[in-house]
């Protein structure tokens, strides 16, 4: 199959229904807005850091807020948003892979520029990364542990998403669909936990594994794009974007692996140790 030129019109999936707000999506207008407001993302991140760490200091000597109801609503809405995002963006990626191939899927930004449905939800995806800062507010007010992975992930995702949208980065097609998919499950899990459903531990383990797999796939995509550029193939991904993306996805991979070890392996070993010590103590008492 020949590589499609960036200027060629490609076929898009046949959506059963297209909403008016999707039909009226104008990628050029939104791209200009993002380019003009790109520096604002830095200010948002600075404000975010100031609020969460001052909030943590403020809450140190105060009782925690319960916020179970708001948390259920928050997580449920984000899960629903991500599920819709999957259903509106995944068909486009499958269609492109089936009809135009892998090269097109990582190098040609037709998902934004030639598909109004996927284009609109790409725009929503970028904006939602600012909204997701709200996750940390719940952690601070409920006095839960605020780990480095959490706030580092939120900041870098916002910066990268806005930067990529301003460039109409083609490989972002993959990153967006993968993120929508993982978040649809993750926020659903958070909502059920807030509802106090007893969820098997393998579910949380599976979600972390999915996140790690997401980082591996994203890193492979970046390497593939670099190879296309090296071979002087047309590819709408800047070298700066590849460096930024590869850096954050490798650090995510390391941090999520560390989280996985500390949460599911190290803690399990510690619990086993405590259990064995209790059993030995009980045996000692009965002898």
Which of the residues are catalytic? 153
Alpha-carbon distance of 104 to 88, in angstroms, equals 19
Q: Which two tokens stand for residue 123?
A: 């725009």
- Cβ(63)–Cβ(178) under 8 Å? no
Question: What separation in angstroms does the CA of 5 have from each of 63, 112, 150?
Answer: 60, 16, 40
Residue 70's nearest CA partner among 173, 179, 163, 190 is: 190
Q: What tokens appear for 284 in the block?
A: 């000692």
CB 82 within 8 A of CB 183: yes
Helices (H), 60-171: 68-99, 102-107, 110-113, 116-131, 134-141, 148-167
Q: How far apart are CA 126 and CA 46, in angstroms?
A: 18
CA 56 and chain centroid, separation: 24
């Amino acid at each position: 199959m020949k590589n499609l030129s960036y200027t060629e019109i490609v076929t898009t999936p046949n959506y059963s229904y297209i909403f008016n707000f999707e039909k009226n999506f104008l990628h050029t207008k939104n791209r200009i807005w993002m380019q003009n407001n790109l520096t604002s993302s830095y200010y948002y991140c600075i404000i975010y850091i100031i609020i969460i760490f001052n909030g943590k200091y403020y809450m140190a000597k105060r009782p925690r807020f319960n916020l179970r109801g708001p948390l259920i609503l928050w997580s449920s809405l984000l899960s629903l948003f991500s599920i819709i995002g999957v259903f509106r963006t995944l068909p486009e990626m499958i269609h492109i892979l089936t009809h135009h191939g892998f090269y097109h899927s990582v190098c040609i930004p037709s998902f934004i520029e030639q598909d109004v449905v996927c284009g609109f939800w790409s725009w929503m995806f970028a904006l939602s990364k600012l909204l997701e800062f709200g996750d940390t507010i719940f952690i601070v007010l409920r006095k839960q542990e605020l780990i480095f992975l959490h706030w580092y992930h939120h900041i870098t995702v916002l910066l990268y998403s806005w930067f990529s949208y301003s460039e109409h980065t083609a490989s972002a097609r993959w990153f967006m669909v993968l993120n929508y998919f993982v978040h649809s499950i993750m926020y659903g899990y958070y909502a059920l936990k807030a509802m106090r459903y007893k969820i098997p531990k393998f579910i949380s383990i599976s979600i972390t594994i999915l996140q790690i797999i997401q980082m591996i796939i994203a890193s492979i995509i970046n390497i593939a794009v670099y190879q296309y550029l090296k071979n002087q193939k047309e590819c709408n991904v800047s070298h700066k974007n590849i460096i930024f993306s590869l850096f954050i996805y490798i650090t995510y991979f390391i941090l999520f692996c560390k989280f996985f070890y500390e949460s599911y392996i190290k803690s399990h070993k510690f619990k086993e140790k405590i259990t064995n010590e209790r059993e030995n103590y009980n045996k000692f008492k009965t002898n």
